[in-house]
Amino acid sequence: MSTRHTVIVAPFAERHFIKSFSKKYKGAWDITWTGILEQFRSFDELFKSSIAEMIVHDSNLKICKVEFRVYGTQVSRHGSGNRCIVVIHENTNTISVLLVYGKTDLSGHNETAEWKKLVIENYPEYKELCK
């Protein structure tokens, strides 16, 4: 049985990339986002597939990258280049959504370096995990 998590979407994530997904995909985004949030509530299940990848782990926190596709598109999760960066707080069963982006939303050639930079700049509480 999977642990149920509380999902919190960080204001930075909401203001930036989520807003652009909403404008670009309109009603399809609402369906997509609802599905993503529901999957995050049972996050342990995502590790059973290749959808979620643990990037960093310490005693209580895990930073994970999760692939997703927008509802109604014909592109696979992996091929879409769409990702969420989340932090799992194991002691509180909470998932914090830090970033939701498409690969083209990041400016550099190294995707991991770019999202880590965004986390360091916008989430000082997770800075040490991204070094």
The pLDDT of residue 1: 57
Q: Give how far Cα 27 sits from Cα of 33, 69, 92, 106, 127, Å.
A: 10, 14, 32, 24, 35
Tokens for 52? 């979620």
Q: Which domain holds residue 54?
A: 6-130
Q: How many domains is the chain partitioned into structurally? A: 1
Domain contains 1: no
Q: Which residues of 22-53 are buried (b: 16+ CB within 10 A; e: fewer)?
A: beebeeebeebbeebeebbeebeebeeeebbe
Q: What does the pLDDT look like over 62-82, one tens digit per residue? A: 999 999 999 988 887 777 889
Report the chain's mean pLDDT, rounded to a whole number: 89
CATH classification of the domain holding 96: 3.30.2310.20
Domain contains 120: yes
Q: What does the pLDDT look like over 34-54, one tens digit per residue? A: 999 999 998 888 887 778 888
Domain contains 59: yes
Helix (H) or strand (E) holding 113: helix 111-122
Tokens for 130? 């991204």
